Amino acid sequence: MRIATRLAAALATCAFACGIAQAGSITVYSALENDEIAVYLAAAHKAMPDLQVHVLRLSTGDLAARLIAESAAPRNDVIWGEALTNMLDPRIAAELAPVVSPNIARLPPRYRAADGKWFATTGYLAALCVNTEALASQHLPMPASWEDLAKPVYKGQVVMPAPQSSGTGYMIVSAILQGLGAEKGWPLLKGIAANVAQFTESGSSPCKLARTGEFPIGVSFAFVAMQSIKQGFPLKMVIPSGEVGYELEASALMKNAKNPADARRFLDWIASPQAAALYRKYKGLVADANTGPTPEQVKEGLPADIEKRLYPLDFEASSKNRTAILDTWKRQVAH
């Protein structure tokens, strides 16, 4: 039996379309990237050859919207790699069931809920993508912090994701506000926004614009920066000092799962050391206490002590305050 990855907007199976469960089969909604899903599922199939996993891949925002829309009659067994800030929406959290297993239990406390309703095996963090050639041609200093990005010297030289549309953008804004407080955080965000030439819809776009030299500095996240460096672009990844914005990619069991036993097997596997070894290829944050960034990742700019540098974000507050924060951003910051 082959593990099938469904990367379209709907699963092309009667079992999914009709909501009919099959023995040895689960339906998974995921916000992970397509190329990651294929690698992870191939390994999962080797570990659990009797289990068929149907995956519907959506962006974090679209996945949250689908879960809320289907809350009266959920059609999936598992959520895999959704942004924790979205997962904590009360309308989604109400549909989750506690899940415990040996592999989940071994994850560090910051990566699992006290009530067992979610756990995170991976995460992504904010990073600056700096085109060294473009920076040098304009005689600009290398930025090292969020405060640097608010300096007048970078006027029109920065591109950043819009927090209204991008999970990465909101992650950065929320982290700065939690770390500095509203009194200092909002003035800093206004200063950064004053230097932004373009706000993008997605979190990866700023890095892609920076790596081609269209802008010297792109505010993005670590994975796309490291990927760009591997591809040979003249890029330096900078993890800003101070409040390191990051998001956890959480997984959970649906309380009305049609195949709970198989769903629990799958969830235990994605929290396993074997899966963690695969995550290192793609992720800046991996919830495995026994391993840190690879030498290659450190060479690309990921701090070897990244776990110690993470600000203790309150994800529940980030979720609860989203509407108020975005309203303030629209009124006071956006241009």
What is the C-alpha separation between 40 and 161, in angstroms, rounded? 28
Share of the chain above pLDDT 70, in %: 92
The predicted pLDDT at position 303 comes to: 80
Same domain, 141 and 168: yes
Closest to 226 in 3D by CA, of 288, 300, 283: 300
The pLDDT of residue 213 is above 70: yes
CATH of the domain at 139: 3.40.190.10
Share of the chain above pLDDT 90, in %: 71
Average per-residue pLDDT in the chain? 89
Strands 235-238 and 96-97, sheet pairing: unpaired
The predicted pLDDT at position 94 comes to: 96
The predicted pLDDT at position 8 comes to: 37
- Please, which pLDDT band fits residue 88 given cuts at 50, 70 and 90? very high
The pLDDT of residue 17 is above 60: no
The predicted pLDDT at position 245 comes to: 85
The pLDDT of residue 5 is above 50: no
Same domain, 137 and 209: yes
Same domain, 151 and 231: yes
The predicted pLDDT at position 1 comes to: 37
The predicted pLDDT at position 147 comes to: 96
Same domain, 238 and 314: yes
The pLDDT of residue 177 is above 50: yes
Same domain, 107 and 67: yes
Residue 295 CB burial class (10 angstroms; 0-12, 13-18, ≥19): exposed
The predicted pLDDT at position 335 comes to: 65
The predicted pLDDT at position 7 comes to: 39
pLDDT average, residue stretch 27-45: 94
The pLDDT of residue 160 is above 50: yes
Q: Tell me the three-class secondary structure of the chain, residue by residue.
A: CCCCEECCCCCCCHHHHCCCCCCCEEEEEECCCHHHHHHHHHHHHHHCCCCEEEEEECCHHHHHHHHHHCCCCCCCCEEEEEEHHHHCCHHHHCCEECCCCHHHHCCCHHHECCCCCCEEEEEEEEEEEEEHHHHHHCCCCCCCEHHHHCCHHHCCCEEEECCCCCHHHHHHHHHHHHHHCHHHHHHHHHHHHHHEEEEECCCCHHHHHHHCCCCCEEEEEHHHHHHHHHCCCCEEEECCECCECEEEEEEEEECCCCCHHHHHHHHHHHCCHHHHHHHCCCCCEECCCCCCCCHHHHHCCCCCCHHHHECCCCHHHHHHCHHHHHHHHHHHHCC
Same domain, 26 and 165: no
Lowest mean pLDDT among 177-181, 185-189, 298-302, 325-329: 298-302
- Number of domains making up the chain: 2
pLDDT digits (tens, 9 = 90+) for 96-123: 999 999 999 999 998 999 999 999 999 9
Same domain, 178 and 40: no
The predicted pLDDT at position 288 comes to: 78
- List the structure tokens of 56: 């519907």
Same domain, 313 and 274: no
Same domain, 236 and 149: yes
Same domain, 311 and 174: yes
Question: pLDDT: is 15 or 142 the higher one?
Answer: 142
Same domain, 64 and 142: no
pLDDT digits (tens, 9 = 90+) for 123-153: 989 999 999 999 999 999 999 999 999 999 9
The pLDDT of residue 9 is above 80: no
Lowest mean pLDDT among 27-41, 156-170, 278-292: 278-292
Closest to 284 in 3D by CA, of 222, 208, 210: 222
The pLDDT of residue 2 is above 70: no
pLDDT digits (tens, 9 = 90+) for 228-280: 999 999 999 999 987 778 999 999 999 999 999 999 999 999 999 999 999 98
The predicted pLDDT at position 248 comes to: 95
What is the C-alpha separation between 28 and 41, in angstroms, rounded? 11
The predicted pLDDT at position 304 comes to: 78
- Please, which pLDDT band fits residue 289 given cuts at 50, 70 and 90? low
The predicted pLDDT at position 259 comes to: 95
Domain that holds residue 70: 5-121+247-292
Same domain, 19 and 113: yes
